[in-house]
Amino acid sequence: MPFPATHPALARALEAQGYAEPTPVQAAVLAAPVDRDLLVSAQTGSGKTVAFGLAAAHQLLGEAERFGPPEEPFALAIAPTRELALQVARELEWLYAPAGAKIVTCVGGMDARREQRALAAGCHIVVGTPGRLRDHLERGNLILKDLRVAVLDEADEMLDMGFREDLEEILDSTPVERRTLLFSATLPKDIVALARRYQRDAHRIDTVRRDEQHGDIEYRAVRCAPTEMENAVVNLLRWFEAPGALIFCSTRESVRHLHSALRERGFAAVQLSGELSQKERADALQSLRDGHARACVATDVAARGLDLPDLGLVIHAEIPINKAALLHRSGRTGRAGKKGVSVLLVPHNRRRKAEQLLASANIEAEWSGPPTADEVRARDQARLLEDPLLTEGATEQDLALAKRLLEERGAEAVAAALIRLHRARLPEPEEILEDIPHAPSPRDRAERPARGERETYEVMDASWFRISLGRKNNADPKWLIPLICRLGHVTKQDIGQIRIFDRETKFEITRQAEGRFREAVKNATDDRELQIEPAGDPGPRERGPRPAGPRRGPPPRRGNDDRPRGADDRPPRKPYAGKPDGAPRGPRPPRKPAR
């Protein structure tokens, strides 16, 4: 449907930007009463910035065609991060450009004196982060006595980042009759309490469908060995070949390591973490927007509020800590009606954690293994045959040179050179162990024993292996199982019975995981004293030899061995020598009174 009637100046800006119809959140905001506060929950990438820009037009412009001379700000927009605040400012600039709006940004990491001079010169709209806005407010640089509209964008993230006190001080300094627009992806108790305190009769708008996942995002869960996470990221980037990809890690150290690994392999990648300066962050984001870089490795905090064009792929190199982090990360793609893919890398030993996380987020993901090197090369061949260079029209000069090449070199030589040129610009895919779907645990297949019976497990479809650790090494299943999982790229569910002997331990591995286990331990135990190798079935009752020492049993009998068992071999007791037999007993001592 076309855009509803709005301010003429903003309508011209929308038309110039090619906005043909509103998004659901924009349509809902324009349909709301123009004089009421708004409490809006909407997904990231749903057009919220344009939505609150249109909603504030009635208070900012009224019937006027353009703004008057800039003085004290009429509108204040607060965002959690520098990148999101700058993005909001860019959106509002083109939206209010026909109306002659002057917009000032106040964000951390920028020159505060330059912001002070811009505020002193006057403006119509201020966009900033809570900490920097509070600093200008306390220094007297920011005066909010004429404020008409206050906007809180990504309010839930601001509270999660600890900006509650800053927000309260800023809102307490604004006129009571202002209009407050609060936008949040979720509405936890803290957001509801904030809305009750600073909003009056707020109109509630909810465009989030909690019973279904984001329709523009395809979710995939990729199984991989813990030691092959890096190779899996490489092959995923090569498989999708997205114009822009965002790779999430949990720590700054992980970001630095993965970024260096991708650059070493020939990827045009940048990194974003909290330790970077504002200039380094700005340069990294600009290289992504310009297309000079196609992959960005970032932490959760550094990537908050990012809106990158053509971001078609999000890779969770490390499993998010909770549902909110998963949805926030994935929400960087599939924005503004574009399709995107969110890939969750799942190590074999964290599959259950990933399943619980996806279930809590109500997400149905497609499970698979990482793309192999052969699959990536096959896809490269298909892309080469569909490359626009082969279908675009050629100029006369190109055709003349092509004819000369065919005459001098031949068709096959020219085609081979084209293939080599195509491959030269692509990083080489990595070899990855063959993926084996997750098998049910042997313990899951065994029937539970009756109460009081001995618990045994019969694993019919399993193979025996031995590891060169036994009782002499204080072998114990508590640390043997994690060791086997780490070296063999398997999970606890893939391990069956374990039998510990003096110098070795034998254990079972399911047939489904046997191939992966053999390949992994072959690479993991090379040049090590620790050895893991196939072993024969030890049998149901085979036990290791007992350690040397005295044999346990009943103590030897004393005296005559011919006496029957149980006879008293002790010497006779001597009579009591204290008092003669039959002597009267003395009086008992008096009892002590009870306390």
How far are the Cα atoms of 246, 249, 343, 365, 499 from residue 217, in angstroms, in the given order?
A: 14, 20, 10, 10, 47
| Per-residue confidence (pLDDT) for residue 457, from 0 to 100 | 44
> Do the beta carbons of residue 263 and residue 245 sit within 8 Å?
no
Confidence band (pLDDT; 50, 70, 90) for 580?
Answer: low
How far are the Cα atoms of 26, 89, 107, 553 from residue 10, in angstroms, in the given order?
A: 13, 15, 26, 97
> Do the beta carbons of residue 532 and residue 488 sit within 8 Å?
yes
Asked if the model's pLDDT at residue 59 lies above 70, the reply is yes
> Do the beta carbons of residue 107 and residue 128 sit within 8 Å?
yes
pLDDT in tens, 290-324: 888 989 999 887 666 666 767 889 999 999 988 87
Q: What CA dihedral angle connects 508, 514, 519 and 525, to 10 degrees?
A: 0
Asked if the model's pLDDT at residue 337 lies above 70, the reply is no
How far are the Cα atoms of 86, 178, 288, 319, 467 from residue 357, in angstroms, in the given order?
A: 32, 41, 30, 9, 34
pLDDT in tens, 244-289: 899 999 888 999 999 999 998 889 999 988 777 777 888 888 888 8
- In which element (H, E) is residue 202 found? none
User: Is there a shared CATH topology between the 8-206 domain and the 442-448+457-534 domain?
Assistant: no
Confidence band (pLDDT; 50, 70, 90) for 48?
Answer: confident
What amino acid occupies position 315?
Answer: I
| Per-residue confidence (pLDDT) for residue 542, from 0 to 100 | 47
Tokens representing 220 are 């995939």
Fold of 442-448+457-534: Alpha-Beta Plaits (3.30.70)
- In which element (H, E) is residue 172 found? helix 164-172
How many C-beta atoms surround the C-beta of residue 542 within 10 A?
Answer: 11
| Per-residue confidence (pLDDT) for residue 334, from 0 to 100 | 77
Confidence band (pLDDT; 50, 70, 90) for 556?
Answer: low
Asked if the model's pLDDT at residue 96 lies above 80, the reply is yes
Between CA 272 and CA 305 the distance in angstroms is 13
pLDDT in tens, 197-247: 999 989 998 876 554 556 678 999 999 887 788 999 999 999 998 888 999
Residue 498: exposure state from Cβ atoms within 10 A (0-12, 13-18, ≥19): middle
Q: How many CA atoms lie within 13 A of 320 on its CB side?
A: 27
| Per-residue confidence (pLDDT) for residue 168, from 0 to 100 | 92
| Per-residue confidence (pLDDT) for residue 584, from 0 to 100 | 60
**Statement: the pTM of the whole predicted model exceeds 0.75:** no
3-class secondary structure for 20-65? CCCCHHHHHHHHCCCCCCEEEECCCCCCHHHHHHHHCHHHHHCCCC
| Per-residue confidence (pLDDT) for residue 159, from 0 to 100 | 84
Domain range list for the chain: 8-206, 217-375, 442-448+457-534
Between CA 516 and CA 437 the distance in angstroms is 11
| Per-residue confidence (pLDDT) for residue 581, from 0 to 100 | 53
For 382-456, list the strands marked E by DSSP. Answer: none
| More confident: 373 or 384 | 373
How far are the Cα atoms of 89, 349, 579, 584, 585 from residue 576, in angstroms, in the given order?
A: 106, 73, 7, 15, 15
pLDDT in tens, 132-183: 999 999 999 999 999 999 999 988 888 877 889 999 999 999 999 999 999 9
| Per-residue confidence (pLDDT) for residue 436, from 0 to 100 | 54
pLDDT in tens, 534-544: 987 766 544 44
Tokens representing 285 are 């984001």
Tokens representing 507 are 């254990």
Q: What is the CA radius of gyration of the chain?
A: 36
Average pLDDT, the chain: 81
| More confident: 393 or 557 | 393
Mean pLDDT is lowest, of 269-273, 521-525, 551-555, for 551-555
Concatenate the DSSP letters of all residues of 58-93 into one string.
Answer: HHHHTT-SS--S-BS-SEEEE-SSHHHHHHHHHHHH
Spatial neighbors of 283 by CB under 8 A, at least 6 apart, are: none
* Helices (runs of H) and strands (runs of E) counted in the chain: 22, 18
| Per-residue confidence (pLDDT) for residue 347, from 0 to 100 | 87
**CATH H-level superfamily of 8-206:** P-loop containing nucleotide triphosphate hydrolases (3.40.50.300)
Q: Give me the sign of the Cα torsion angle 136, 137, 139, 140.
A: positive
| Per-residue confidence (pLDDT) for residue 576, from 0 to 100 | 56
| More confident: 512 or 437 | 512
Nearest CA-CA partner of 51 in 263, 248, 246, 207 = 207
Residue 222: exposure state from Cβ atoms within 10 A (0-12, 13-18, ≥19): buried
Question: What dotted CATH number matches 217-375?
Answer: 3.40.50.300
Between CA 46 and CA 24 the distance in angstroms is 8
| More confident: 140 or 454 | 140
Asked if the model's pLDDT at residue 456 lies above 50, the reply is no
